Amino acid sequence: MSDIHDHHSDNTAKRLTQVKAIVAVASGKGGVGKSTVAANLACALAQKGHKVGLIDADIYGPSQHIMLGLTNQDPVINPDKKIIPIHKHGLDAISFGFFVHGDEAIVWRGPMIARMFQQFLDDVKWPELDYMIVDMPPGTGDIQLSLSQLLQVTGVVIVTTPQDVALADAVKGVNMFRKVNVPVLGLVENMSVFHCPSCGHESAIFSRGGAQKKSESLDVPFLGALPLEEATRIASDEGTPIVLKDPKSPQAKIFLEMADKIHDRATTLLKSRPLTPPLPPPLPSFAKPPTNEFEV
């Protein structure tokens, strides 16, 4: 049983009200490991006894269907025309990757992407959950804005690699979420150091320690540093995140500790934060919604 307290009240956005804590995983840059962190954190929280859902909100470049081993799965639509999330590794997940098979590219404008994200919230039959992890696309664009407008997000985890070009964008990410009143749960430094498996040499390919320093100057918690490890990448490509595939590995332990820190902070935030923060203005409605095979 989870000890997370329910933060919803009458004034709260009426979306995902059956979910106690909504945690987004975001970054300024692409390719820094958001999806890896999102999948492993979701699995780690589930392993610790929480009920967890996962939304892959990267519509252009979904990953979770691969990272959770759910390629070529067609979600079921129930008689109420709600999409049933797919259950795997103890999670309930939805990804645009479930609906686009093969190498098809998505060529959509921002509003259509925002609408698809909204469908992931409104047209999916989400069960009662302790955590909803939202794997975000990179940057500070449409989906980030939709997220903050459509949901009362408990907090955001910002993933970055330690080198200056990634940190610069991570800072923009932190500032953007602050602007839209989403608490920052902390920074994760990914690909922090590489231990050569043949000679044991430690190499800081993308530098090292940058995210920890940045978290101090930004006054946000530091959630941990993950090494660059082939096993982490292989586990993701094979569809079983490393926390499940090799729970005793050093990387898995870091993810499990990170999950504890996030749980502590989310629990504190849900208890202490005002129950009814002012909601941002609603999204514009679209006169002609996009048509696609997913629409029901």
Ligand X SMILES: Nc1ncnc2c1ncn2[C@@H]1O[C@H](COP(=O)(O)OP(=O)(O)O)[C@@H](O)[C@H]1O
209 binds, among Mg ion, ligand X, none (CB under 5 to 8 A by kind): none
Please report how close the Cβ of residue 187 comes to ligand X at its closest, in angstroms.
14
Strands (E) across 36-191 are located at 52-56, 86-88, 91-95, 129-135, 155-160, 184-189
Of the candidates 169, 180, 124, 123, the one whose C-alpha atom is nearest the C-alpha of residue 147 is: 180
Binding site for ligand X (CB under 6 A): 27, 30-36, 63, 190-191, 226, 228-229, 232-233, 236
Residues 18-37 that bind Mg ion (CB under 5 A): 34-35
- Which CA distances in Å does 58 have to 10, 97, 239? 30, 9, 17
Of 53 and 241, the one with the shorter C-beta distance to ligand X is 241
Please report how close the Cβ of residue 39 comes to ligand X at its closest, in angstroms.
8
Please report how close the Cβ of residue 233 comes to ligand X at its closest, in angstroms.
4
Please report how close the Cβ of residue 30 comes to ligand X at its closest, in angstroms.
4
Of the candidates 6, 1, 26, the one whose C-alpha atom is nearest the C-alpha of residue 266 is: 6
Residue 138 makes CB contacts below 8 A (sequence gap 6+) with 27, 28, 29, 30, 31, 32, 34, 58
* Residue 63 binds to Mg ion (criterion: CB under 5 A): yes
Of 34 and 263, the one with the shorter C-beta distance to ligand X is 34
Please report how close the Cβ of residue 27 comes to ligand X at its closest, in angstroms.
5
163 binds, among Mg ion, ligand X, none (CB under 5 to 8 A by kind): none
191 binds, among Mg ion, ligand X, none (CB under 5 to 8 A by kind): ligand X
CA dihedral sign, ordered 211, 216, 218, 221: positive
Interacting residues toward Mg ion by CB under 5 A: 34-35, 58, 63
